[in-house]
């Protein structure tokens, strides 16, 4: 796994790349865009995959009349085909300072996962964009479409720098303004922001986006093991310092608070038709891709 700031080293090792060759992104048909691709779309048109028959109405293309059906039923029917279209994959990568915590740092894993989604998408000739976000949506990297562009994409992801705060609501609004079309939005984040992420998920869903929320977790965030006694906690994003006396009750309350927040995000995400993936940084990348990405992708 590439460490933070290591530009020369690729984000995905060969073993992970071989695994990604066998995976395929499955999205809902209505998520597809207007471009030609390999995904089934909800548009019934001139594709090659037969879908259904419908009665002929004036104005229809007479070339698509099923004459064999007319011979059997003495009625005019048209053959309807599914149209296979591409999807637009937008990977929103959390680059706030909280992503630097964890062992290994969450940000490195998040970048590897972003590259993995990009790799799968480009393999299917989808349009892949990786957009960093913190307080706002960052600069959009060039959209990549083919596998040949994967090294370039990896370098671009590696070059993304850490910023300060997290504000996903602003990020979501900016994303919708910037990307009016439908697509798959992969949000790679640690969710370490107490604000309501559900509103943003709903806004994205209403805009026609399918959400895949990848929750990058580390033990320090979800189940910290701090020594007892007085601790001066310092927020890595805001720099705010708080002194607490660590004891079992406080640790339990903290774990419950984090778990409830994650559960709320997960529930809203699923409720708007999205998918939720938990990605602990302590897992090796290969295992992470094999076990964590399984709900989001299918094996070819």
Partner 1 sequence: MSFMGLPALVVAAVGAIAAGAVLLLYLLRSIPRPQPVSNVDFWLKAAEAAKPSWLFSTRIPVFAMLLTLLVALLTVLLAGDPSADSGLEGTTVVVLDAGRSMGARHGGGRRIDRAVELLEQLVGRATVTGEVAVIRAGVRPSVLVPLTSSPRELGRALERTRPMIDDGDSDLDAAVRLAAGLAARFDEPRRIVVVSDRRPEADGVPFELVSVGDAGETLAIVTFGARRDPVALGEYLVLCEVEAFTRHPARARLIIRDLDVVVFEEDIELEPGERVTYTASGSTRLEGELSARLEDVQVEGTRDALAADDVAFATVPPLSSTRVLLVTQGNRYLETALGLDPTVELEQVTPAELAARRFDAASFRQFQVVVYDRCLPDQLLPHPGVMMIDPPADPGDLRFGRVLEQPRLTSMATDHPVLESVDLGGTALERGRVLLAGPEDRVLVRSERHALSLARETPGERRIVLGFDPAASDLVRRPAFPLLMHNAVVWLAHDQAPPHSSSMPGTILTLPAGVVTAPGGEDREVRAGIYSSTDTAGIYEVNRHPRAISAVELAGPIDAAPVQPARRGPSGLPPLAFFVGLLLLAVMTTEWVLLHRGRI
Phi, psi values for residue 230, rounded to 5°: -80, 130
Tell me how far, at minimum, the Cβ of 299 lies from partner 1, in Å.
34
Looking at the Cβ atoms of 224 and 295, the one nearer to partner 1 is 224
Tell me how far, at minimum, the Cβ of 221 lies from partner 1, in Å.
5
Neighbouring-strand partners of residue 212? 186, 275
Task: Name the one residue in this structure whose structure tokens are 């992708």.
Answer: 297
Give me 30's structure tokens: 């209505």
Tell me how far, at minimum, the Cβ of 187 lies from partner 1, in Å.
17
Q: 230: cis peptide before it, omega within 30°? A: no
Nearest to 224 by CA among 192, 194, 188: 192
Tell me how far, at minimum, the Cβ of 163 lies from partner 1, in Å.
14
What is the rounded CA–CA span in Å between residue 176 and residue 153? 23
Tell me how far, at minimum, the Cβ of 241 lies from partner 1, in Å.
8
99 Cβ contact list (under 8 Å, min separation 6):
105, 106, 107, 110, 162, 189, 190, 216
Neighbours of 81 (CB within 10 A): 16
Nearest to 100 by CA among 162, 158, 150, 38: 162
Tell me how far, at minimum, the Cβ of 264 lies from partner 1, in Å.
13
- Given a contact cutoff of 8 angstroms between Cβ atoms, the answer to whether 251 and 238 are in contact is no
Looking at the Cβ atoms of 7 and 233, the one nearer to partner 1 is 233
Looking at the Cβ atoms of 4 and 28, the one nearer to partner 1 is 4
Tell me how far, at minimum, the Cβ of 262 lies from partner 1, in Å.
11
Q: Maximum CA pair distance of the chain?
A: 87
Give me 219's structure tokens: 């033990």
Give me 69's structure tokens: 């059906």
Tell me how far, at minimum, the Cβ of 165 lies from partner 1, in Å.
10
- Given a contact cutoff of 8 angstroms between Cβ atoms, the answer to whether 83 and 46 are in contact is yes
- List interacting residues with partner 1 (CB under 8 A): 98, 101, 190, 192-194, 220-221, 224, 226-238, 240-254, 256-258, 261
């Amino acid at each position: 796994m590439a460490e933070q700031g290591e530009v020369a080293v690729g984000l995905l090792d060969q073993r992970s790349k071989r695994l990604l060759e066998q995976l395929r992104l499955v999205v809902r048909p209505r998520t597809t865009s207007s471009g030609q691709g390999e995904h089934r779309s909800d548009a019934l048109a001139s594709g090659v995959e037969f879908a259904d028959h419908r009665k002929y109405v004036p104005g229809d293309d007479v070339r698509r009349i099923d004459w064999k059906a007319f011979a059997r039923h003495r009625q005019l029917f048209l053959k309807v085909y599914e149209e296979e279209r591409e999807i637009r994959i937008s990977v929103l990568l959390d680059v706030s300072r909280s992503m630097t915590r964890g062992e290994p740092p969450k940000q490195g894993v998040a970048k590897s996962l972003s590259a993995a989604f990009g790799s799968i998408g480009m393999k299917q000739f989808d349009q892949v964009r990786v957009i960093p976000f913190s307080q706002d949506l960052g600069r959009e990297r060039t959209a990549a479409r083919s596998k040949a562009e994967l090294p370039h994409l990896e370098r671009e992801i590696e070059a993304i720098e850490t910023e300060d705060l997290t504000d996903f609501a602003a990020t979501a609004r900016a994303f919708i303004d910037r990307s009016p079309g439908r697509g798959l939005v992969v949000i790679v984040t640690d969710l370490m922001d107490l604000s309501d992420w559900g509103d943003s998920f709903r806004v994205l869903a209403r805009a026609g986006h399918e959400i895949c929320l990848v929750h990058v977790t580390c033990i320090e965030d979800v189940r910290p093991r701090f020594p007892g006694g007085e601790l001066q906690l310092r927020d890595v994003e805001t720099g705010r310092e708080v002194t607490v006396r660590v004891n079992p009750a406080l640790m339990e309350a903290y774990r419950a608070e984090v778990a409830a927040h994650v559960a709320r995000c997960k529930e809203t995400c699923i409720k708007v038709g999205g998918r939720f993936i938990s990605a602990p940084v302590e897992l090796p990348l290969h295992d992470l891709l094999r076990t964590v990405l399984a709900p989001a992708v299918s094996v070819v």
